[in-house]
Amino acid sequence: MIRIIDSFHNADEILWSALNERASNGSFFQTPAYFRFLKKTVGHDPFVFIGAKEGSYSILIMGSVQYSSSPLVKKFSRRAIVNGGLVTDPEADADDITAFLTYLSKSLSKRAMYLEIRNLNDYSAFNPLFDAAGFSRVAHLNYQVSVNSSEDAFRHLSQSRRRQVRKSLDGGAKVVVSNSVEEIEAFYSILRETYRRKVKRPLPPKDFFLKFRESGLGVYILVRYKGGIIGGIMCPVYGRKALYEWYIAGEDGKYPGIYPSVLATWSAIEYAATNNIGIFDFMGAGRPDESYGVREFKARFGGTEVEYGRYLRIFNKMVYKAGTVIFRR
């Protein structure tokens, strides 16, 4: 029988990190460092639940209750989001996992209108356990690029993407790994406008991005052109295992012959190759039954399409329905 720890202060970070490292489904978004980062940000109330057994940790999940700062919609925006997915020891017991998920849902039902677990690994073997704990599975696509070398990765880009990268560089665009506050603020301005016009979903405040800069948990790869920032990508780094596309934006179409979003994406893949990071993860490509233009963009970078899906548990159906009208999920 497992003992469930539901407080960061009661967690042993050495055992936590050890589980995340040995588990095949560990990720950056399930690390103590990520928890501490979220704890410093506005609009995130991080949580962690750990299943302990026989002096070791066997089950783990961490995420955050996210909410809008606006008093008018805060009630309808409180959602528990888990990136990466459940972390399990290879020997974890199925009954323990079901009990763990049931405890997780009961605890979070008091804090959020729903819980969504966004998988970055294959959890198909766990589907019956999530079903038994009251979750529904939602199909959701992603692309992951296995990175061996820069040359090999470039060959796997589509012909149009290779042409756009070359044309952007020949046209004077420069790629930089930047830690400049001014340049990150410029990137954020582009990102905020992109979310306002196209994405139409909540975006963390600028301070979130500046704290990520301070955290040392990843890199900003930015595109300079004519002395200014015209695009970039924000990428958490998980050791030698994975580099993630968390936020990306570019002033596409503004400068003839320059493709900042394409160049930023390719440069992140190249960064992974140069630093011996095995996977570049796009972190989502929409639902397969819905038209999604971003999916077409991501599909041309040589990655493998995967359908790891998401697990959803709705706690308050009325508030959930109202919230999905206000915020596109």
CA–CA dist 311, 221 (Å, integer): 31
Other C-beta atoms lying within 10 Å of the C-beta of residue 176: 15
**Is the C-alpha dihedral spanning 223, 229, 234, 239 positive or negative?**
positive
Q: Chain centroid to CA 10: how far?
A: 26
pLDDT of residue 326: 56
Q: Answer for the pair 274, 150: CB distance below 8 angstroms, yes or no.
A: yes
Q: Is 328 exposed, middle or buried (0-12, 13-18, 19+ CB in 10 A)?
A: exposed
Cα separations in angstroms, 326 against 166, 193, 237, 244, 271: 41, 19, 32, 28, 37
Structure tokens given for 275 = 């630093």
pLDDT of residue 316: 87
- The model's pTM is 0.94
CA–CA dist 248, 231 (Å, integer): 8
pLDDT of residue 290: 85
Structure tokens given for 149 = 């070398």
The one-digit pLDDT tens for each residue of the chain (329 residues) are 899 999 999 999 999 999 999 999 999 999 999 999 999 999 899 999 999 999 999 999 999 999 876 665 666 678 999 999 999 999 999 999 999 999 999 999 999 999 999 999 999 999 999 999 999 999 999 999 999 999 999 999 999 999 999 999 999 999 999 999 999 999 999 999 999 998 878 889 999 999 999 999 999 999 999 999 999 999 999 999 999 999 999 999 999 999 999 999 999 999 999 999 999 999 999 999 988 889 999 999 999 999 999 999 999 888 777 666 655 54
Task: Identify the structural domains of the chain with CATH numbers, from first to last.
Answer: 3-140+308-326 (3.40.630.30), 143-305 (3.40.630.30)
Cα separations in angstroms, 253 against 94, 142, 195, 222: 51, 25, 16, 17
Question: For 42, what's the count of Cα atoms within 13 Å in the CB-facing half-sphere?
Answer: 13
pLDDT of residue 75: 65
pLDDT of residue 202: 81
pLDDT of residue 74: 61
